[in-house]
Structure 1
């Protein structure tokens, strides 16, 4: 009797991001046994930091040193614990864990799948020196990789970067599973879903929306997603200062499966990406664009880069200068003032999800790649 082959997922967090959930789900459907290593199920994750050490970490230098030591400890734990699991396949969806995945694949003779989820070379870190160092480490361990999955990008920039770096290199779109469509109504409701980060333009939303509320006093905005610094507090303070706090709802991080329900309650999806290189090369890798389309929402997005081109080509929304609060507000007013046009744009996006941009096609690409190496 043939032994069931196993997949070990090296994850930087306990809950896998939606893309990783979809890809590992495909491998599970192929009859592969799934196991996940995350910081929470390591010895490091189970240790409680002493109060005296917590006080010391308030010092920036100590904090950086401690995080560096913890990170290298974590990599060692991943290799040791992973080796004991004796996996047939290793799935690594994060550049920071690639050294552990590469070493583990070497000593356990496992197939290594590296999923390039982010645009790491495009200003992803504030320090150019750090970026170069991490990309150099990535280059060192790429020879151990058997399959590379990459996100979509304008002019296939990312696909070209990794082409010929592994036997199999495949673009996997960040598309959702097709879900139920909302019943369109004319309630003036806008929504943003995603991390609260400055490069994603969230700090522009409140000032822009304040201009809209003057014309549409019943309009509401919902902002869903985690904040990793003080951005949420700053946005709340701005909303209070503008006198629109009661019109804006903030929801912290929620499970991905719950996102669609919130989208069904809205009328317009917001994607105010700012004009930086990492956003200029983005295209269909932006999950929020597809999620908005899946719910039949017209999109307000940037008038630059691959995302802007995609929105215009697919005729699923408006593109504006997202760095300009007045233009962002004008886009909101335009869709709120013309619900028929808004519905038409939303329907266009939804139809494309039904016909083309859904997980069914990408699922087959994952299955083919994995089948050719197992």
Structure 2
């Protein structure tokens, strides 16, 4: 009696994530999405920029060559990603960069399902891109709107990082998947009063992320306190920052691993995320804000309505005008001068993350989407 072919519905799907813009071990892409799918029985492959292939946490990682510049990445990098993806013959392809949107119809023609992960409000985001000439930004934004429209009508499903991003896509094929941290009750943290006397910022450094304002505010830290900064910046910005008086209070760690960043946060007493007001930032949900909360430290955040609502509702910190270094310094020093209040805010934030703002709740939404694709 001849064997019958196993249908897609009778087996767990082969899922390929294409992420050649982010680092291969990006927290949202690898640890949250890929690892969650692997833990739930899916055959998961990640195509990313890594020196050599490997299997980690049940995920097969396929390397593609790293591009030398942005233009090369958008053209040759996308073609290399397509070549690697085509060889996989997967059931589902999950795309993580706008430049991969043109691949959607090519992958679907083979009968595969395609998911697009919309992490940014692309049409608004490009209006604030520092590397684009101001005269070109509106034209690029219009093209970005077309890409968003095209992706929403050609892929099978969209995972949007925020409600505002979700409104760009068809409602019946879009799920909001927020960037909340991975956290468990068993996570241990250094008791608050035993932590180092440091304020921490972890992430990319740039003009629009309020780096100058944060370093200026560091001038006003008490003598025994320091500002710990872990992240990357352009050489030009770093040269400028090193000449500022506040830089004398900065412990600059450069780029660190996810685990090292987690340890820096776990040992600090205050976390700062003071992005300046841009179209992309005001409705973003920065992962670092929730990681500070998960670590049990109070948050000093930009006073955007969405952020303010979260911070105020959970009682986990204070919000200030991110463009005002004096206000930023005052908020930080007020928490330094009231350690019991700071500790209580940290406990409130951690409680909110454990009970509500965590990946364990979000991952069920992602798994529901994947089950609907089979």
Q: Partners in 2 of 1:347 and 1:43 — Cα distance? A: 41
Structure 2's unaligned 5+ residue stretches are 52-61
Deviations 1:175-224 (A, max 9, x none): 11113233111643100011112211111111111023xxx111111001
Asked if 2 retains the 8 angstrom alpha-carbon contact of 1:168 and 1:369, the reply is no
How many corresponding residue pairs?
A: 342
Q: Partners in 2 of 1:29 and 1:7 — Cα distance? A: 13
Q: Partners in 1 of 2:277 and 2:340 — Cα distance? A: 30
Q: Partners in 2 of 1:268 and 1:46 — Cα distance? A: 36
RMSD of aligned residue pairs (Cα, Å): 2.3
1:233, distance to aligned residue in structure 2 (A): 2.8
Asked if 1 retains the 8 angstrom alpha-carbon contact of 2:121 and 2:164, the reply is no
Q: Partners in 2 of 1:256 and 1:172 — Cα distance? A: 21
Q: 118-127 or 37-46, which moves further after superposition?
A: 37-46
Aligned to 1:293: 293
Structure 1's unaligned 5+ residue stretches are 50-62
Q: Partners in 1 of 2:334 and 2:302 — Cα distance? A: 15
Decide which of 67, 78, 83 is 2:81's aligned counterpart.
78
Aligned to 2:58: none
Q: Partners in 1 of 2:293 and 2:360 — Cα distance? A: 16
Structure with more helix by fraction: 1
| Highest RCO, 1 vs 2 (Cα 8 Å, sep ≥ 6) | 1
Aligned to 1:162: 169
Decide which of 176, 180, 196 is 1:175's aligned counterpart.
180
1:299, distance to aligned residue in structure 2 (A): 0.7
Q: Partners in 2 of 1:77 and 1:43 — Cα distance? A: 10
1:30, distance to aligned residue in structure 2 (A): 2.4
TM value normalised by structure 2: 0.84
SS in 2 for 1:45: coil
Q: Partners in 1 of 2:140 and 2:351 — Cα distance? A: 42
